[in-house]
Structure 1
Amino acid sequence: MVEYLISHLWLLWTIIMFVCLILELSSGDFYVTCLAIGALAAAVSAVFHLPFWIQVIVWALCSVLSIWLIRPRLLRRLHDRQHERLSNADALIGREGTVIESVDPNGFGYVQVDGDAWKAVSTDEATIRKGERVRIISRDSIIVTVVRV
């Protein structure tokens, strides 16, 4: 089997390419895809019966070049900012809630949004009383900044 692979190095590079593509399914960061692109280039060089050390250099160069040239384009295409959905605490910005503990001008209070209580500060000069509606305009860690609605 080893002798067969040594005489057919293109098959070895093809196997490496498919293993890299399968591994990419679990990572999703496109580094392993770039290694697969390098393995494809090495397989092409093996078809032309270039020495193994040249095939390894072709694999390394093509992998590095694809990380440098192709990966950024793939990431921009996949992670388009227009369709970005906010999650976790970032999704709170712009939402409305109810004050459950008065928010003093220079102190803290609590607001409830969708059943969750959040520590809040206000940009208003007056106290926001319990029961008033507020809108979250920003957050800093677990503290949200609110304004009256």
Structure 2
Amino acid sequence: MDAFAAEFAWIVWLVLILVFVTIEMVTLDLTFLMMAAGSLGALLSGLLGAPWWLQLVIAAVLTIALLLGIRPPLLRLLKRGGDPAKTNVDALLGLDGRVVSTIGATGGQVRLANGETWTARLSPGTGRIVEPGERVLVTAIDGATAVVTPAERNSP
């Protein structure tokens, strides 16, 4: 068994490397890339004549070292360049607008500063009707409805 394992271990390591790289291409988490690098270290040690049990130890130690030592800084480096611009609903929060049709108990419409017209309702506790032309601020988005408050209420 030892002779068989020693003679064909390189094939096992090569297959593992290919499997790990393929999985990494799907997950993009760098975990399987570190496992592939550990397997590469074991493959190289096997080609240099290390016994199969030492190849396993090298693969395990190298994989753990890479997972704990190299992966976290690489992930931070990859995530550092993210786009800081707000998008979707986050971009609408705090945006001001003008009332297009009266916002009362049944709702109304506002035209936001970005040019979009939204169905709107008043934020709970507002307690008054907001007439066309008045400024409002978006405090939340509830489905396809902008929840707004009169702008003068948010002034210092």
- TM-score bracket relative to the smaller structure: 0.5 to 0.7
Partner-residue secondary structure (3-state), 1:50 = coil
Partner-residue secondary structure (3-state), 1:79 = helix
Aligned length, in residue pairs = 142
For residues 80 and 46 of structure 1, do their structure 2 counterparts lie closer, same or farther at Cα, with a shift above 3 Å needed? same
Asked whether the equivalents of residues 21 and 36 of structure 2 are also in contact (C-alpha less than 8 Å), the reply is yes
> Aligned partners of 1:88, 1:94: CA distance in 2, in Å?
13
Shift of 1:139: 5.4
Partner amino acid, structure 1, of 2:130: R
Q: Identity of paired residues, percent?
A: 25
Gaps of 5+ in 2: none
> Aligned partners of 2:121, 2:49: CA distance in 1, in Å?
68
Shift of 1:112: 7.2
- After superposition, the CA RMSD in angstroms is 3.9
Give deviations 1:52-105, integer Å, cap 9, x for gaps.
Answer: 12111111111111111111122112212553454443333343445577489x
Shift of 1:22: 1.1
2:38 paired residue number: 38
2:54 paired residue number: 54
**TM-score calculated relative to the size of structure 2:** 0.63
**TM-score calculated relative to the size of structure 1:** 0.65
From the CA coordinates, give the structure whose radius of gyration is larger: 2
Partner amino acid, structure 2, of 1:13: W
Alignment of 1:1-149 (within 5 A): 7-80=7-80, 83-97=83-97, 102=103, 114=116, 117=119, 121=123, 127=128, 129-131=130-132, 132-136=134-138, 148=151
Asked whether the equivalents of residues 120 and 146 of structure 1 are also in contact (C-alpha less than 8 Å), the reply is yes
For residues 83 and 46 of structure 1, do their structure 2 counterparts lie closer, same or farther at Cα, with a shift above 3 Å needed? same
> Aligned partners of 2:41, 2:120: CA distance in 1, in Å?
54
> Aligned partners of 2:97, 2:80: CA distance in 1, in Å?
30
> Aligned partners of 1:11, 1:101: CA distance in 2, in Å?
74
> Aligned partners of 1:55, 1:120: CA distance in 2, in Å?
68
Shift of 1:20: 0.8
> Aligned partners of 2:53, 2:147: CA distance in 1, in Å?
59
Asked whether the equivalents of residues 130 and 150 of structure 2 are also in contact (C-alpha less than 8 Å), the reply is no
Gaps of 5+ in 1: none
> Aligned partners of 1:30, 1:36: CA distance in 2, in Å?
10
